[in-house]
Each structure stands twice: as structure tokens, then as C-alpha cells.
Amino acid sequence: MGGLVGDIREIIFETLRSSLPKPVEITENTHIVEDLGLDSVAVMDFVMEIEDRLDISVPLDKIAEIETVGDLIAAMQNLRAGS
């Protein structure tokens, strides 16, 4: 079951797209707060969607370290690998 790098990446892109009010081009370099205009709570809410999809819990200090979509993918992969 899951855990493949491509799967996690795809799930994150898909979740991110569906939680934004309007379509924005997203790459791994996209800055979550600056480029997407999400506030701290919106970021945590969006991470919740991914937690559900991957059945993992992401500690808040990990979320705080995430700046780009690439960081997010890496963090999720690490957590998934560790669980």
C-alpha cells in the first residue's frame, strides 16, 4: 500500500489544488505562505487533509518548518517512512 514517492507527491498537489480558492500553478518551489497566501491556520487545516489521506499525524513543529511544497513532500515522505 502507498508510500511511494510519486503517490505522496500527487496526493499533496491534488489536495493543495482543491483547497485553494482559485487555480494557481504549483511546483515544488512554490512557497506555501507567500505564493499561495495561506495563513498559519489555513496551512494547518490543509495539512490535515493530507494527514487523512496518508493516515499520518504531522506534529506542529514539523509544519512550522515547512516553507515550500517541496519541503512538505519531503516531510510527509519522512513521516510516512518512519511510521
Partner 1 sequence: MSLFTKFASLAAQYRQLEEAGANPFNVSFDSVLSPTEAMLKGRSVLLLGTNNYLGLTYDPAVIAKAVEATERYGTGTTGSRIANGSYAGHQELEQALAGYFNRKHGMVFSTGYQANLGMLSTLAGKDDHLILDADSHASIYDGARLGYAQVTRFRHNSPEDLDNRLRRLKDTPGDKVIVVEGIYSMLGDTAPLKEFAAVKRSYPDTYLVVDEAHSLGVLGENGRGLAEAAGVEADVDFVVGTFSKSLGGVGGFCVSDAEGFDILRVVTRPYMFTASLPPGVIAATLEALHQLQTRPALRRQLTENANRLYDGLAALGFTVGPEPSPVVSTVMPSPEAAFAFWARLLHGGLYTNVSLPPATPKGLALLRSSVSAAHTPAQIDHAIAMFAEAGRELGLIPAAGAKSQGEPVLATAK
Residues with catalytic function: 39
Residue 72 in contact with residue 12, Cβ under 8 Å?
A: yes
As a whole number of angstroms, the distance between CA 66 and CA 36 comes to 14
**Binds partner 1 (CB under 8 A): choice among 58, 66, 69, 72:** 58
Are the beta carbons of 12 and 69 closer than 8 angstroms? Answer: yes
Q: How many residues bind partner 1 (CB under 8 A)?
A: 16
The answer to whether residue 41 forms part of the interface with partner 1 (CB under 8 A) is yes
The distance of closest approach from Cβ of residue 61 to partner 1 in the complex, given in angstroms and rounded to an integer, is 7
Residues that bind partner 1 (CB under 8 A): 39-42, 44-45, 48, 52, 55-61, 83
